[in-house]
Copies of this chain bind each other. A is one copy, B any other.
């Protein structure tokens, strides 16, 4: 379980207890969970540390207005849907959110590829990493997919699963022991042997594995957050990063409910039809029976199209 030490818990409680008055728009549903760590994976979390703007701020920016959004929610909703549908993305850039995230390094490496965000990561050159590593829950331990080179197939179970998990745990334990040994540091942070040199932290860290947890402050605007979520809350994303994306999607629902709904309708649950796919749909709607060979689509594209249309390939 996600473990905070007493000092961290106290710091979070103090932050949550503080209140101030502001002229800025604020969002009670989001304030409710502000600073609170939302658990992800076995030791990770996402917590909202700050935010700027709300649904009305999107409307306000789209109109370059002097006051708030429009007078009525229904009008705001209509405009937000329109903006989302027609990919007028700049008004969504006018809301900003800042997360504190604890995540395995291999997840951090996928995440960081999204460049349009501000990041401050915990430095293992400067500090010593905690002994926290990710081991998949049994239901997420899966075989290599045979159909998708970068995906998972069936879940591995029984003794074979146990063997894998034991191996992951043992290696991670051993690496951390060696890490402390290289640093000549015991559990309490004291030198193991005062006569022995401690390897530089910036070198010792390289002996840890990619399932070790790191943490960072990550700040981005709503447009780029939604783009991130459209890729990482997608079923093709690796489960471990998807778990973070899903927690953040819930945050978006609290923060900007109208934008969240528009995102569901016009992005997450929408589908892009290619020129060829559109031609097939038009023929089908005209009553023609179309098959893959006479569709002009490759077998793979045909399967993807049939899935979108909810039909058997």
Binding site for B on A (CB under 8 A): 4, 7-8, 10-12, 14-16, 18-26, 31, 34-35, 49-53, 57, 60-62, 64-68, 78, 81-82, 85, 87, 90-91, 93-94, 96, 98, 100, 104-106, 108-109, 112-113, 115-116, 118-123, 125-126, 134, 136, 141-145, 149-154, 156, 160, 164, 167-168, 171, 174-175, 178, 181-183, 196-203, 205-211, 215-217, 219, 221, 231, 238, 264-266, 269-278, 281-282, 284-285, 298, 300-301, 304, 308-311
A266 contact set on B, CB distance < 8 A: 272, 274-275
A304 to chain B, nearest CB (A): 8
- Taken together as a complex, chains A and B put the C-alpha atoms of A210 and B211 apart, in Å, by 10
Contact A61 B209 (CB under 8 A): no
Given contacts A90-B120, A120-B91, contact A52 B98 (CB under 8 A): yes
Query: Can you offer 24 A-B residue contacts whose CB atoms are under 8 A?
Result: A4-B66, A11-B67, A20-B21, A20-B25, A21-B26, A24-B24, A24-B34, A50-B53, A50-B57, A64-B216, A85-B301, A85-B304, A93-B118, A141-B199, A143-B200, A144-B183, A150-B202, A151-B200, A154-B197, A167-B181, A171-B175, A209-B209, A271-B273, A272-B272
Contact B22 A200 (CB under 8 A): no
A15 contact set on B, CB distance < 8 A: 23, 66-68
A209 to chain B, nearest CB (A): 5
Given contacts A182-B164, A209-B209, contact A219 B20 (CB under 8 A): no
- Taken together as a complex, chains A and B put the C-alpha atoms of A281 and B264 apart, in Å, by 18
A309 contact set on B, CB distance < 8 A: 278, 281-282, 285
A295 to chain B, nearest CB (A): 13
- Among residues of B, the one whose C-beta sits closest to the C-beta of A19 is B21
- Taken together as a complex, chains A and B put the C-alpha atoms of A119 and B91 apart, in Å, by 8
Given contacts A15-B23, A136-B203, contact A178 B174 (CB under 8 A): no
- Taken together as a complex, chains A and B put the C-alpha atoms of A2 and B142 apart, in Å, by 34
Query: Is chain A's interface secondary structure helix, strand, loop, or mixed overall?
Result: mixed
* Among A145, A181, A219, A221: residue with most chain B CB under 10 A: A219
A202 contact set on B, CB distance < 8 A: 150-152, 238
Contact A121 B64 (CB under 8 A): yes
Given contacts A22-B20, A118-B94, contact A278 B308 (CB under 8 A): yes
* Among A14, A67, A136: residue with most chain B CB under 10 A: A67
- Taken together as a complex, chains A and B put the C-alpha atoms of A145 and B203 apart, in Å, by 12
A67 contact set on B, CB distance < 8 A: 10-12, 14-15
A281 to chain B, nearest CB (A): 6
Given contacts A149-B126, A217-B94, A276-B265, contact A24 B23 (CB under 8 A): no
A26 contact set on B, CB distance < 8 A: 20-22, 24
A87 contact set on B, CB distance < 8 A: 231
Contact A160 B197 (CB under 8 A): yes
A46 to chain B, nearest CB (A): 14
A217 contact set on B, CB distance < 8 A: 60-61, 64, 94
